Structure 1
Amino acid sequence: MLAVFEKSIGKPPQELSLPLAGSSGLKNTRQEIAEIFRLWRSDSTFYNFRNGNFLALSHEDQNPVHPRSIVVMDDIFCIFSGALDNTCDLRRYYGLSRQATEAMIIITVYKVLRDRAPYPPDQVIKELEGKFAFILFDSKASVLLLARDRDGSVQFHWGTAADGSLVCSDDPNLISAACGKCYTPFPPGCIFISGTGLICFDHPLHKVRAIAREDDEGNIGAVIFQVDLFTRLPSIPRTGSAANWAGATAVEGE
């Protein structure tokens, strides 16, 4: 699977573009990355959006344990790789039929986040059990959502293209060809949302920090993202009905 989105939609962390030791600087544009994918994956299907942004899916060389699928519902696109262990429970909880696939469940989860606020995204995504990675794009709202399971069981990488666009793929060879050395594994147990950034769904109030690995000469050889349990993010005051309910509960408890 492959996603390429311009900076205005998928603003990548600055650290993804750090100059790495031995980097040749060979990075490709969105159009060139699309051509590479077409050449490497003859069965690929493309979903093109405005300004050259796109999603692409291929079943070639697919791991049977982590199959790939795509669903399009209400102008929301979701590419899912892997499998959920609690699919039956999630179908019941969200009122879905027994035919609902993992990708359909993810879209439903996203719509709950979008339409029935306030729901912290980490509280919803952490309920997903299994081995997975997914890419979701709401084409109407121009919102990109990425996630990977806690154990990093499914290959998933992200990097930057020549124009600074965000590139995501489960194929390390493809993303290496597209981004040169400006890519790294997507951090396990994390979600990335347009306009919000990177969040760990088990530790949502702690910063996910980029760590540059340097050699003895001070050259950066790699960049990885890890949860910094010593840096707590400022909590956001609740508003609306949730805050009112919390206030009422506090009064009752006095």
Structure 2
Amino acid sequence: MLGIFKQKLVNAPKELNSPASLNSCIKPKLSHEILKDFMSCNSSNAFSMCFGNDALLAYSTSYKPSINHRLFSGLDNIYCVFLGGLHNLSMLNKQYGLSKGTNEAMFIIEAYRTLRDRGPYPADQVLKELEGSFAFVIYDNKDGTVFVASGSNGHIELYWGIAGCMFHSEHGLMNFEHPTQKMKAMPRIDSEGVMCGANFNVDSQSKIQVMPRVGSEANWATWG
């Protein structure tokens, strides 16, 4: 799966920029070039969806049978690309009042919409309820927000952030297992000894403002 977003939507942590790229004579690829490469590698089973010049989502199904689902769903101008599987999906669907046939991508959209509109719990509390290996990207075309998360076991690779993390375009990068502590960037060194980016770990010495618990009528998306 692939998600590309304009900077006005996603203000990425500055540590994710590779210092090596600043000194390179090679220009970074443009969005359409990245998409072209993705589609050429998955030409027979891939599709993409563009949202003007602001966002792009691309998705491909797997060639081989796998326990890790690759799913794409959209509902009410909210779009989700999901990779992996949830062991407790049946329980979650029942908890949210959804039909038994609701797949992981549709459940994630419903959970996000509940949080956005009337959720009594912070996003990190909901993510802690998800059991399994997963990574997903949500793009809310109506509100112009991006929500990205990966499971805490690290079995599904998401090349932005680290395992157990979530990113919201309004609140930034945080760890949903330790939501009251900041993320600390640790330099990543390549085989030639050159700093090429950063991995993020929980800073146990830090504290951040936590999202207040509110009534079900509140809109958590406006917090911060």
Query: TM-score range, shorter-chain basis?
Result: 0.7 to 0.9
Q: Give structure 1 stretches of 5+ with no counterpart.
A: 159-185, 243-254
From the superposition, tell whether residues 147 and 24 of structure 1 become closer, same or farther in structure 2 (CA, over 3 Å).
Answer: farther
- 2:222 maps to what in 1? none
**1:105-254 maps to which residues of 2 (within 5 A)?**
105-158=107-160, 186-213=161-188, 219-235=194-210, 238=212, 241=215
From the superposition, tell whether residues 153 and 99 of structure 1 become closer, same or farther in structure 2 (CA, over 3 Å).
Answer: same
From the superposition, tell whether residues 62 and 76 of structure 1 become closer, same or farther in structure 2 (CA, over 3 Å).
Answer: farther
Verify the 8 A CA contact 1:31 1:52 in the aligned structure 2. Answer: no
Q: CA deviation at 1:227?
A: 0.8
Q: CA deviation at 1:241?
A: 4.1
Query: CA separation in 1, counterparts of 2:39 and 2:54?
Result: 15
- 1:18 maps to what in 2? 18
Q: CA deviation at 1:218?
A: 8.3
Structure with the bigger percentage of helix: 1
- 2:81 maps to what in 1? 79
Q: CA deviation at 1:89?
A: 0.8
Taking only the aligned residue pairs, the percentage that are identical comes to 36
Q: CA deviation at 1:63?
A: 6.1
Query: CA separation in 1, counterparts of 2:154 and 2:213?
Result: 34
3-state SS, counterpart of residue 140 of structure 1? coil
- 1:45 maps to what in 2? 47
Q: Give structure 2 stretches of 5+ with no counterpart.
A: 217-224
**1:28-107 maps to which residues of 2 (within 5 A)?**
28-42=29-43, 43-51=45-53, 53-61=55-63, 64-107=66-109
3-state SS, counterpart of residue 112 of structure 2? helix
Verify the 8 A CA contact 2:17 2:197 in the aligned structure 1. Answer: no
Query: CA separation in 2, counterparts of 1:220 and 1:121?
Result: 33
Query: CA separation in 1, counterparts of 2:86 and 2:213?
Result: 33
Verify the 8 A CA contact 1:10 1:144 in the aligned structure 2. Answer: yes
TM-score by length of 1: 0.77
3-state SS, counterpart of residue 19 of structure 2? coil
Q: CA deviation at 1:112?
A: 1.2
Over the residues paired in the alignment, what is the CA RMSD in angstroms?
A: 2.3
Query: CA separation in 1, counterparts of 2:200 and 2:214?
Result: 33
Greater relative contact order, per chain length (Cα 8 Å cut-off, separation 6+): 1
3-state SS, counterpart of residue 7 of structure 1? coil
3-state SS, counterpart of residue 34 of structure 1? helix
- 2:219 maps to what in 1? none
Verify the 8 A CA contact 2:147 2:169 in the aligned structure 1. Answer: yes
Over alpha carbons, which structure has the higher Rg?
A: 1
